[in-house]
A and B are shown apart, each in its own frame.
Chain A
Amino acid sequence: MLDALRYEWTRLTTLRSTYWLTGIGVLCALAIPVIAGFAAGGDPIDAEITAIMLNGGAAFGIPFLAVFMAIIGIFATGHEYRHGTIQPTLTALPQRSRLIMAKLLVVAVVTVVVTLVSMALNALAIAIFWGEVPGLFEDPLASALLGYLVYTLVYTLVGLGLGLLFRGVPSALVVIFLMPLIIENIILGLSFLPMADWLVPVVKFLPFSSGARLLAIEPMVIPDYDLFGRWGSGGVFAVFAALIVTAAWILFKKRDA
Chain B
Amino acid sequence: MITATGLYKRYRKTVAVDRLSFDVRPGVVTGFLGPNGSGKSTTMRLMLGLDHGEGQTLFDGERFSDIRRPMNKVGTLLEAKPFHPTRTARNHLRMLASANGVGDKRVDEVMELVGLGTVKRKKPKGYSLGMAQRLGLAQALLGDPRILLLDEPTNGLDPHGIHWMRDMLKHLASEGRTIFVSSHLLSEMQLMADELVVIGRGTMIFNGVVDQFVRDFTQSTVIVRGPEAAGFVPALEGAGAEVAKGKDGELVISGMEIGAVGHLAFTENVELSELSTRSASLEEAFMSATGSTEEFVAAEPPTAPATEKADGADNA
Q: Measuring CB to CB, which residues of chain A are less than 8 angstroms from any residue of chain B?
A: 3-4, 6-7, 9-11, 14-17, 79, 83-95, 254-257
Q: Is B217 an interface residue (CB 8 A)?
A: no
Residues of A within 8 A of B92 (CB): 14
Q: How far is the CB of A75 from chain B (nearest CB, A)?
A: 10
Is B96 in contact with A94, judged by CB distance below 8 angstroms?
Answer: no
- In the assembled complex, which residues on chain B have CB atoms less than 8 Å from the CB atom of A10? 91, 94-95, 98
B residues lining the A interface (CB < 8 Å): 45, 48-52, 64-65, 67, 69-71, 74, 76, 78, 80, 82-88, 91-92, 94-96, 98-101, 139
Task: Point out the residues of chain B lying under 8 angstroms from A11, CB to CB.
Answer: 95
Given A10-B95, A88-B139, check contact A94 B64 (CB 8 Å).
yes
Contact call B84/A79, Cβ cutoff below 8 A: yes
Asked whether, in the complex, the Cβ of A91 is within 8 Å of the Cβ of B94, the reply is no
Once the chains bind, are A95 and B100 in contact (CB under 8 Å)?
no
Q: Which residues of B contact A15 (CB under 8 A)?
A: 84, 86-87
Chain A residue at smallest Cβ distance from B49: A94
In contact, B95 and A14 (Cβ under 8 angstroms): yes
Q: In the complex, which of the residues B52, B74, B84, B95 contacts A256, with contact meaning CB atoms closer than 8 Å?
A: B52
Given contacts A91-B71, A94-B65, A95-B65, contact A256 B94 (CB under 8 A): no
| 17 A–B pairs (Cβ distance < 8 Å), ordered by A | A3-B98, A4-B99, A6-B98, A10-B98, A15-B86, A83-B82, A86-B82, A87-B45, A87-B78, A89-B99, A90-B49, A91-B71, A92-B96, A92-B99, A94-B48, A256-B50, A257-B45
Query: Can you name 18 extra interface pairs (CB under 8 A) apart from A15-B87, A91-B70?
Result: A3-B69, A3-B98, A3-B100, A9-B98, A11-B95, A14-B91, A15-B84, A85-B82, A85-B83, A87-B45, A87-B82, A88-B96, A88-B139, A89-B99, A90-B50, A94-B48, A94-B67, A256-B50
Which of A83, A90, A257 sits near B85, CB closer than 8 Å? A83
How far, in angstroms, from A10 to B101 measured CA to CA in the complex? 12
Distance of B45 from chain A, by nearest CB (Å): 7
Identity of the chain A residue whose Cβ is nearest the Cβ of B48 in the assembled complex: A91
A90 vs B99: C-alpha distance in the bound complex, in angstroms?
A: 10
A84/B50 in contact, CB under 8 A: no
CA distance A88 to B101 in the complex (A): 16
Beta-carbon contact of A84 and B95 below 8 Å = no
* Nearest CB of A to B72, in Å: 10
Q: Is the CB of A85 within 8 A of B84?
A: yes
**In the complex, are the beta carbons of B94 and A14 less than 8 A apart?**
yes
| Chain A residue contacts of B71, Cβ below 8 A | 91-92
Q: How far is the CA of A15 from the CA of B84 in the complex (A)?
A: 9
Most buried by B among A14, A79, A89, A91: A91
CA distance in complex: A79, B76 (Å): 21
Identity of the chain B residue whose Cβ is nearest the Cβ of A256 in the assembled complex = B51
Residue of A nearest to B80 (CB): A84
CA distance A111 to B131 in the complex (A): 36
- Complex CA gap A11/B52 in Å reads 26
CA of A257 to CA of B50, assembled, Å? 5
CB pair B99–A14 under 8 Å, yes or no, is no
For A83, give the chain B residue with the smallest CB separation: B84
Q: In the complex, A219 Cα to B87 Cα: how many Å?
A: 45
User: Can you name the residue of chain A whose Cβ is closest to the Cβ of B88?
Assistant: A14
CB distance from A61 to the nearest CB of B (A): 32
A257 to B47 alpha-carbon distance, docked (Å): 13
Residues of B within 8 A of A95 (CB): 65
**Which chain B residue has the least Cβ–Cβ distance from A75?**
B84
Complex: how many Å from CA A31 to CA B87? 30
Residue of B nearest to A253 (CB): B52
Q: A9 — which chain B residues lie within 8 A by C-beta?
A: 98
Q: Which of B48, B78, B82, B99 contacts A3 (CB 8 A)?
A: B99
User: Bound state CA distance, A84 and B50, in angstroms?
Assistant: 12
| In the complex, chain B residues whose CB is within 8 Å of the CB of A86 | 82
Tell me, rounded to whole Å, the shortest Cβ–Cβ distance linking A101 to chain B.
Answer: 13
Closest 5 pairs (CB-CB, A-B):
A84-B82, A7-B99, A14-B91, A94-B65, A257-B50
| Docked CA distance A256–B92 (Å) | 23
Contact at B101–A3, with CB atoms within 8 Å? yes
User: How many Å lie between the Cα of A69 and that of B26 in the bound state?
Assistant: 48
Q: Given A3-B100, A11-B95, does the pair A256, B87 have CB atoms closer than 8 Å?
A: no
